[in-house]
Structure 1
Amino acid sequence: MDTLSRVALGVLAAACCVASASALGQPYNPSSPLTRADVRADLAAWRAAGFDPLDWLHYPENAQRAAAIIAQRRASGAMPQPAQ
């Protein structure tokens, strides 16, 4: 292998490493994962706002309506903000 081939191989390997590192969707942030209790509390809030996950006949409407209610409650301070 001559020097030019080794340089080209090195550039190709570096390009592959950069491409694979930039292909990640979001960086891992260990301070933001939700706990099981957080997820359960969020589901309870959605159900209290009128969302039924088993009501697939009215799915987009009931989810949007519940999301608006939850956003309004969080904006008014009646509910805590989710951990992020």
Structure 2
Amino acid sequence: MGSMTPEEHALSYIESQGELTDAEAGRLFDALKPLPSREFLVGSWDGGCFETGHPGCKALIETKWAGKDFRGVDDVDPIMTFDDKGGTVLE
């Protein structure tokens, strides 16, 4: 991963939309710091995936997955998609 932190490395893949092997994705995930708390997740999160060739990524793109909305640590809408006008819809 060079001189970049694991977080910087992950962001560079997100920004470049580059491809990762399953092994690279696993090493990157394992190197990331844990979240500071469960409450950190509360809010709306944009969706995306690391392209590893897994069919799940293609399915997320085809369904126009927008992300997740955490209303609380135990209350989440895991599948929000984009509608034809670019708004989000709960599935």
TM-score range, shorter chain: under 0.3
Q: Which has the higher contact order (CA 8 A, sep 6+)?
A: 1
From the two aligned structures, give the one with the greater helix fraction.
Answer: 1
- Higher gyration radius (CA): 1
